[in-house]
Amino acid sequence: MNFSEVVQQWIDDYLVNFLPSVSLDLVIFGFHEGQLKVLLLRFNESEDWLLPGGRVGNRENLDDAADRSLRERTGLDRLFLQQFHTFGNLNRLTYFSWHETLSRLGMKEMAVRLLEGDSALKNHRDVSVGFYALVDYTQVSPTPDLLTDECRWWDIDQVPQLLFDHNAMIRMALKTLRRQLSYQPIGYNLLPDSFTMSELQSLYETILGRSLDRRNFYKQLMNYNVLDRLDKRPTIPSSKAPYLYRFNKERYEQLLDSEDFWIG
Amino acid sequence: MNFSEVVQQWIDDYLVNFLPSVSLDLVIFGFHEGQLKVLLLRFNESEDWLLPGGRVGNRENLDDAADRSLRERTGLDRLFLQQFHTFGNLNRLTYFSWHETLSRLGMKEMAVRLLEGDSALKNHRDVSVGFYALVDYTQVSPTPDLLTDECRWWDIDQVPQLLFDHNAMIRMALKTLRRQLSYQPIGYNLLPDSFTMSELQSLYETILGRSLDRRNFYKQLMNYNVLDRLDKRPTIPSSKAPYLYRFNKERYEQLLDSEDFWIG
DNA sequence: TTTCTGTGCGTACATTTGACGCAATACTAC
DNA sequence: GTAGTATTGCGTCAAATGTACGCACAGAAA
């Protein structure tokens, strides 16, 4: 099956089984070696990158569709996943439009058929619900989809020019994430099961983009009462072993519930 | 034209000119006599109330569609209007479903045709983007639409059981509004052009649901540097005339920009 | 004049936040 | 053992912020 046929099959499939006009995009954040990362896809046979997305099944909840899409891209389930904005401007898809994209990909015929024929797709654009997710970098198996060749992590500050309005989406998701971080302990899903205090602090510093005082950070986190201390980690020679911590899930979710502000 | 024909025309119209699957709902807040109010519509020939809504034109920005819908309902333009959540659960429309609603309205035939026929509406439900708006109560001319008989203000704490998930929407909008209020001066659009300090304070107290110290409130607001003091208001006998204030629009928008957190 | 109500300070106290000192704790290397 | 290194868990202090409240004064009416 060549690429044109793949695209056609994808279109046929979505016309029948998914809501028209609505899509969703995922800003999937990971954290590794002191760097905040975001998962991107590379469009088939091109150098154009974009955010993973998805569509909503006819008989599927919006949130479930986001869950499913996240699972398909990362192999992970039941993660921190939250709506942050819904994008519905006309120029979403005309700035770097599908038409232009497909043309650049040498798919002029498809482009014409998609956008100038009398199909249901004429004059069409999606309203897209943006979600952001926090995942454990080490647990993820990045998986491309039908229309993409490659799926991999990018450092947040080295993200290239993306298709559509996806750069703006990332900026907005990051803004939301930062704000949220100052309200509630995030990080449950961004770190491995257990971690040291300085790893957690490094995560916070990376997200917030500024450095924090170690001692104040320690006090704050302990005040939340959300961390369980485990055994020490055997480490590199010639130093004291740092303690490992784990989020207390019960308490963690209690905190999210009490202060969460857009899941009613 | 009887009601069935009206509904049919509405459906035909929307199938051709508007995005399928996407709608929007408006939580329009007003303020009058110490009460926070919300604008509701009464469904034709029934006692069922619901939020004003709208659809997005094929060639229309999402935000513009919200603007337009707000204008159609209130006669007002360019107001504080902000997305707060997108609702996409399947049970949105089945809890008090259209089917049930239409049946109760004696429109069994229409109900069957809508939901069990082989039309494009079978198994259909919308993903709806929720916006909330702050408007000047005194400037609004509530206007029903095609499907509704009546449009009027309700006290926020006396809102009846609404159709669909609209009660939940109001709760969520109010939550967002409260949170936003503690970040930035809101009120520009909820009050007449000029107002006294105690009117403004009363607005804050109503939204926040607790009373504030007059002197501290005064100091805070003056610190924002967002109010211009005008002449005194000639008032009721036997007291000093209170000053009138007006928001300094330039400074007001500057504040919104600096701290705004989900309009990127 | 007195009696209202609104206006614009100032003051006092508790809480929160940020910066930082320091001693105790392990662990390795010698 | 001792020296060296990094983690850990306090404590302190000043600045900023939030909250409660006292008070003198300004105008307008009786």
B62-74 pLDDT, tens digit each: 999 999 999 998 8
Q: Please indicate, yes or no, if residue B179 is contained in any of the structural domains.
A: no
Number of structural domains found in chain A: 2
In chain A, residues with a C-beta closer than 8 Å to the C-beta of B83 are 85-86
β-pair type (A148-155, A35-43): antiparallel
Whether A22 and A44 share a structural domain: yes
Q: Which of B171, B206, B225 is the last residue of a domain?
A: B171
Q: Which of B23, B68, B90 to mutate to test the interface with A (most CBs of A within 10 A)?
A: B90
Whether B24 and B153 share a structural domain: yes
Whether A98 and A165 share a structural domain: yes
Q: Return d(Cα A35, Cα A79) in angstroms, integer.
A: 20
Query: What's the pLDDT at B35?
Result: 85
Whether A99 and A230 share a structural domain: no
HSE-CB at A161 with a 13 A cutoff on CA atoms is: 3
Q: Please indicate, yes or no, if residue B176 is contained in any of the structural domains.
A: no
Query: What's the pLDDT at A107?
Result: 52
Whether A13 and A138 share a structural domain: yes
Taking Cα atoms as reference points, which of A53, A51, A54 lies closest to residue A42?
A51
Taking Cα atoms as reference points, which of B263, B138, B235, B232 lies closest to residue B191?
B138
Mapped onto helix, strand or coil, the DSSP state of residue A153 is strand
Please give the mean pLDDT across all residues of chain B: 77
Q: Which of B171, B200, B216 is the last residue of a domain?
A: B171
CATH classification of the domain holding A244: 1.10.10.10
Q: What are phi and psi of B213, to 5 degrees?
A: -75, 125
Kindly report, residue by residue over A42-92, the tens digit of the pLDDT: 877 778 888 998 888 888 899 999 999 999 988 887 678 899 999 988 766
HSE-CB at B111 with a 13 A cutoff on CA atoms is: 13
* Structural domain for B136, as ranges: 3-171
Bigger pLDDT: A192 vs A257:
A192
Q: Return d(Cα A13, Cα A55) in angstroms, integer.
A: 11
Lowest-confidence segment of A1-15, A36-50, A243-257 by average pLDDT: A1-15
- Alpha-carbon gap: B256 to the closest alpha carbon of chain A (Å): 15
Would you call A119 an interface residue with chain B, using a CB distance cutoff of 8 Å? no
Would you call B16 an interface residue with chain A, using a CB distance cutoff of 8 Å? no
Q: Please indicate, yes or no, if residue B31 is contained in any of the structural domains.
A: yes
Is the per-residue pLDDT at A114 higher than 60?
Answer: no
Would you call A258 an interface residue with chain B, using a CB distance cutoff of 8 Å? no
Q: Please indicate, yes or no, if residue A187 is contained in any of the structural domains.
A: no
Q: Return d(Cα B47, Cα B185) in angstroms, integer.
A: 37
β-pair type (A127-134, A18-32): parallel
β-pair type (A148-155, A53-57): unpaired
Q: Left if phi > 0, otherwise alpha if psi is -120 to 50, otherwise beta: which for A234?
A: beta
Is the per-residue pLDDT at A122 higher than 50?
Answer: no
Q: Which nucleotide is nearest to A234 (CA to C1')?
A: C27
Query: What's the pLDDT at A94?
Result: 44
Q: How confident is the model at residue B117 (pLDDT cuts 50, 70, 90)?
A: very low
B63, B127, B179 ranked by CB distance to A56: nearest: B127
CATH classification of the domain holding B125: 3.90.79.10
Bigger pLDDT: B205 vs A188:
B205
Q: Could you check: is the Cβ of residue B223 within 7 Å of any atom of nucleic acid strand D?
A: no
Q: Please indicate, yes or no, if residue A264 is contained in any of the structural domains.
A: no
In chain B, residues with a C-beta closer than 8 Å to the C-beta of A19 are 20-21, 127
Whether A60 and A156 share a structural domain: yes
Kindly report, residue by residue over B136-185, the tens digit of the pLDDT: 888 888 888 777 788 999 999 899 988 778 999 999 998 888 877 766 77
Would you call B88 an interface residue with chain A, using a CB distance cutoff of 8 Å? yes
Is the per-residue pLDDT at A132 higher than 80?
Answer: yes
Q: Would you call A59 and B90 a contact, using CB atoms and an 8 Å cutoff?
A: yes
Bigger pLDDT: A114 vs B20:
B20
Q: Return d(Cα B88, Cα A86) in angstroms, integer.
A: 12
Q: Provide the 10 A C-beta neighbour count for residue B69.
A: 24
Whether A201 and A176 share a structural domain: no
Q: Please indicate, yes or no, if residue B160 is contained in any of the structural domains.
A: yes
Whether B38 and B166 share a structural domain: yes
CA angle A69/A148/A145 to nearest 5° reads 35
Q: Please indicate, yes or no, if residue B264 is contained in any of the structural domains.
A: no
CB-based contact B23:B126 (threshold 8 Å): yes
pLDDT mean over A184-206: 83
Interface A–B counts its CB contacts (< 8 A) at 91
Q: Please indicate, yes or no, if residue B184 is contained in any of the structural domains.
A: no
Whether A201 and A172 share a structural domain: no
Give the contacts of A173 (CB within 8 A, at least 6 positions apart).
Answer: A27, A29, A84, A130, A132
Q: Return d(Cα A214, Cα A217) in angstroms, integer.
A: 5
Cα-based distances in Å from B117 to A21, B7, B10, B114, B127? 22, 16, 18, 6, 21
Q: Return d(Cα B92, Cα B23) in angstroms, integer.
A: 12
Would you call B230 an interface residue with chain A, using a CB distance cutoff of 8 Å? no
Q: What letter represents residue B228's amino acid?
A: D
Q: How confident is the model at residue B32 (pLDDT cuts 50, 70, 90)?
A: confident
Q: What b/e string do you get for B28-58 counting C-beta neighbours within 10 Å, with b at 16 or more?
A: bbbbeeebbbbbbbbbbeeebbbbbbbbbbb
Task: Please identify which residue in the block is written with the tokens 């409130």.
Answer: B217
Whether A218 and A93 share a structural domain: no
Kindly report, residue by residue over B198-253, the tens digit of the pLDDT: 888 888 888 888 889 999 999 888 887 888 888 766 666 666 778 888 888 887 77
- Alpha-carbon gap: A189 to the closest alpha carbon of chain B (Å): 23
Q: Return d(Cα A80, Cα A28) in angstroms, integer.
A: 10
Q: Return d(Cα A230, Cα B55) in angstroms, integer.
A: 54
pLDDT mean over B48-63: 88
Query: What's the pLDDT at B120?
Result: 44
Whether B108 and B205 share a structural domain: no
Q: Could you check: is the Cβ of residue B59 within 7 Å of any atom of nucleic acid strand D?
A: no
Query: What's the pLDDT at A75?
Result: 87
A20, A83, A168 ranked by CB distance to B86: nearest: A83
